[in-house]
Amino acid sequence: MGSRSREGLTSIKESKWSPDASVPDSSGPAWIPYEKMWTLIFAVVLLPVLSWTWVLPSPTQSCPSLALHAASSAVGSGTTLINSTLVPIGGLNVSNTVNQVSFCQVLGSVAYGDNETLNFQLWLPDEKIYQGRFMAVGNGGMAGTIDTTNMMLQLNQGFAVAGGDAGHLASTNNNGAGAPNTYIPYLHNTDEVKAWIHNAISLFAPAAKSLVAYFYGQEARYSYYDGCSTGGAQGFALAQYHPDLFDGIVAGSPGNWYSHLALSFLWNGLKTQNSSFLPQSTLNLITSAVLDKCDTLDGIADRLIENPLICDFDIESLACNSSTAKTSTCLTSPQIQAAKAIYTGPISALDGSQIYPGFSYGSEIQWLMQEQTLSDAFAIPILQNLVYDNLSYDYHTFNFGSDVQDVDAKAGIYIDEISTNLSSFQASGGKLLVTQGWADPYNAAIWPIKHMQDLQMAMGADLSDFFNLFMIPGGGHCGAASGYPDVPATYHTVSKLVQWVERGEKPDGVVSTGPPNGENRSRLLCPWPQTAKLVPGGDELWWGSYLCES
Ligand SMILES: [Ca+2]
């Protein structure tokens, strides 16, 4: 739903230890002594040059000829190519990143539903760079635009990359921004609602794959997906509903169980009004107190909590007494109750069951957006447009007991991707790599943990051959969290996914680099429930000094 921070060529240049997607690298969780560094440098710097020589697909079709191919049945009925243009190196700038390879830029559309249209782009890199890998990217928030920012990063790693708009236009949907009492057209069209998350990728991926095969003269060897936020939910949708489309999926900060996620926005907004409001100064106070209490549980005093689940912070310790009541160093009783409500998450008024998880210790510093902003942007629009079809619906009247079934029936069946049976995806050899920031201010960090536990209950205790979750201490929503500027915010997930899919190497650690404050710091992210432990005497600022341990 928010902005994203992604791995790209720049990060490779900035960090001599960071792998990239096109280079199955030698980086991993094992501690690497300095005497072996030259081996690593060889692998990172020279291997890609050598590996480029082993895939030279031919014959390559000319870029303009793709438009003719679109008329053939091979692409799929309903696919229209609008344009295909050769873009020279540096010819396109997206979010201050230019293409470092020449590519064929294809603009197309796919018809679906009852006269609906999904627009997509496909970028086909020069065959000297292309390594037989197709990548589709997902959307953020309410979608309606193509994520060309991520497309550019993936293109520069050598992928043939495609992205779509999820079947509706932001420009005709309040510019992609939900708001109270505002008509959002796509939420009134069942086909478009299903295309938002369920089918956003599957609608264009087959056509894109077909064009890849035609352009390079052979099918892509491997197909990947990378998405975050809503795109993370789209990744789960692929595993659940379209298990044969992709060999590997990265689902970051999954905005999944979207209907109940929206209810958590509503809950938190309602619980923080008037005297219950938590201003930024109070949120700073809470996070600071949490860090004072739990920072060193992981053995390192770095204002970062490796595992917030073992932190036993008590918000009551910040309660005002008679001498502090008028200062900014404490919380009033209504504020204490508000914070507790956010930690707890929405609870059913019928049976006390958890409607959606609550937030974790250390995430408080960005809670301001939970205090009505996200309710306005997602919860209220979904209730007023999709669930109750009434723009005057008063969200204050929502009953967190009896009305949850309305949300499940009118929204959940179209936008939730929460099946605990992913056996088709597993059987097809698919790999699902999930990331989640502990300080994510949008979706509660422990939803992916809870869902992993549900999957284990349904599919067996060890999912690691097809599903791995990487929790990110101090991580935000698809990148940096504002309260943790020294936490590396570029997660080298795609390179790990490539190794997993193509070499069968389970991702036993993911490296993160590039903290917002510019420090040369890297971290080791571990497959849950493992956490990173510092090797005695190791450099705290280097990922290679850590081991993943249970
Ligand atoms: Ca610490």
- Are 217 and 114 in the same domain? yes
Among 355, 382, 415, identify where a domain stops. 415
Residue 346 alpha carbon to ligand 1 centre in Å: 29
Euclidean distance between CA atoms 407 and 100, whole angstroms:
46
- Are 223 and 280 in the same domain? no
Residue 294 alpha carbon to ligand 1 centre in Å: 7
For residue 302, how far is the Cα from the chain centroid? Answer: 26
Task: Answer whether 162's CB lies under 8 Å from 135's CB.
Answer: yes
Residue 303 alpha carbon to ligand 1 centre in Å: 5
Residue 310 alpha carbon to ligand 1 centre in Å: 12
Instruction: Report yes or no on 243 lying in a domain.
Output: yes
Residue 469 alpha carbon to ligand 1 centre in Å: 21
| Angle (CA) 126 127 131, round 5° | 115
Instruction: Report yes or no on 535 lying in a domain.
Output: yes
Residue 366 alpha carbon to ligand 1 centre in Å: 19
Residue 262 alpha carbon to ligand 1 centre in Å: 32
3-class secondary structure per residue, 487-541: CCCEECHHHHHHHHHHHCCCCCCEEEECCCCCCCCCEEECECCCEEEECCCCCCC
Residue 502 alpha carbon to ligand 1 centre in Å: 35
Instruction: Report yes or no on 331 lying in a domain.
Output: yes
- Are 278 and 367 in the same domain? yes
DSSP string, 265-308: HHHHHHTTSGGG---HHHHHHHHHHHHHHHGGGGS--SS--S-G
Among 396, 415, 434, identify where a domain stops. 415
Residue 306 alpha carbon to ligand 1 centre in Å: 6
Residue 296 alpha carbon to ligand 1 centre in Å: 5
- Are 254 and 270 in the same domain? no
Instruction: Report yes or no on 409 lying in a domain.
Output: yes
Residue 45 alpha carbon to ligand 1 centre in Å: 33
Residue 535 alpha carbon to ligand 1 centre in Å: 14
Number of domains comprising the chain: 2
Whole-number Cα distances in Å, 465 to 148, 428, 507: 31, 12, 9
Q: Where are the alpha helices (DSSP H) in 313-382?
A: 333-344, 373-374, 380-381
Place of tokens 């991707």: 417
Residue 524 alpha carbon to ligand 1 centre in Å: 14
Phi first, then psi: give them for residue 220, nearest 5 degrees: -60, 140
- Closest CA relative to residue 545, chosen from 23, 14, 31, 1: 31
Residue 136 alpha carbon to ligand 1 centre in Å: 36
Return the number of other C-beta atoms located less than 10 Å from residue 179's C-beta. Answer: 14
Residue 473 alpha carbon to ligand 1 centre in Å: 9
Among 385, 415, 445, identify where a domain stops. 415
- Closest CA relative to residue 431, chosen from 505, 352, 489, 375: 505
Residue 292 alpha carbon to ligand 1 centre in Å: 10
Residue 277 alpha carbon to ligand 1 centre in Å: 29
DSSP string, 42-67: IIIIIHHHHHGGG----PPPPGGGHH
- Are 538 and 508 in the same domain? yes
Residue 297 alpha carbon to ligand 1 centre in Å: 7
Pairing label, strands 160-164, 116-125: antiparallel
Residue 295 alpha carbon to ligand 1 centre in Å: 4
Residue 156 alpha carbon to ligand 1 centre in Å: 35
Residue 299 alpha carbon to ligand 1 centre in Å: 6
Instruction: Report yes or no on 1 lying in a domain.
Output: no
Residue 298 alpha carbon to ligand 1 centre in Å: 5
- Are 296 and 230 in the same domain? no
The SS3 call for residue 335 is helix
Residue 526 alpha carbon to ligand 1 centre in Å: 15
Residue 321 alpha carbon to ligand 1 centre in Å: 30
The distance in angstroms from the start CA to the end CA of the chain is: 32
- Are 281 and 423 in the same domain? no
329: domain range? 261-415
- Are 156 and 73 in the same domain? yes
Residue 472 alpha carbon to ligand 1 centre in Å: 13
Task: Answer whether 494's CB lies under 8 Å from 470's CB.
Answer: no
- Are 391 and 472 in the same domain? no
Residue 289 alpha carbon to ligand 1 centre in Å: 13
- Are 540 and 437 in the same domain? yes
Whole-number Cα distances in Å, 186 to 167, 168, 177, 367: 9, 7, 12, 29
Tokens of 438: 């502990």
- Are 251 and 105 in the same domain? yes
CATH number of the domain encompassing residue 203: 3.40.50.1820
- Closest CA relative to residue 119, chosen from 102, 139, 92, 101: 139
Residue 537 alpha carbon to ligand 1 centre in Å: 16
Instruction: Report yes or no on 3 lying in a domain.
Output: no
Instruction: Report yes or no on 2 lying in a domain.
Output: no
User: For each successive 10 residues of the chain (550 residues), what is the average pLDDT?
Assistant: 39 34 37 42 41 45 75 67 90 97 95 95 96 98 98 98 98 96 98 98 96 93 98 98 98 98 98 96 97 97 97 97 76 97 98 97 98 98 98 98 98 98 98 98 97 98 97 98 96 98 97 97 98 96 96
Residue 304 alpha carbon to ligand 1 centre in Å: 4
Residue 529 alpha carbon to ligand 1 centre in Å: 17
Residue 170's DSSP bridge partners are none
Residue 534 alpha carbon to ligand 1 centre in Å: 11
| Angle (CA) 521 522 526, round 5° | 150
Residue 2 alpha carbon to ligand 1 centre in Å: 26
- Are 98 and 179 in the same domain? yes
Instruction: Report yes or no on 424 lying in a domain.
Output: yes
Euclidean distance between CA atoms 491 and 513, whole angstroms:
7
Residue 307 alpha carbon to ligand 1 centre in Å: 9
Residue 200 alpha carbon to ligand 1 centre in Å: 39
pLDDT of residue 58: 47
Q: Residue 54 half-sphere exposure, CB side, CA atoms within 13 Å?
A: 8
Tokens of 171: 């420009």
Q: Which residues contact 514 (CB under 8 A, 6 or more apart)?
A: 5, 11, 14, 15, 18, 488, 489, 490
Q: Please state the pTM of the whole predicted model.
A: 0.89
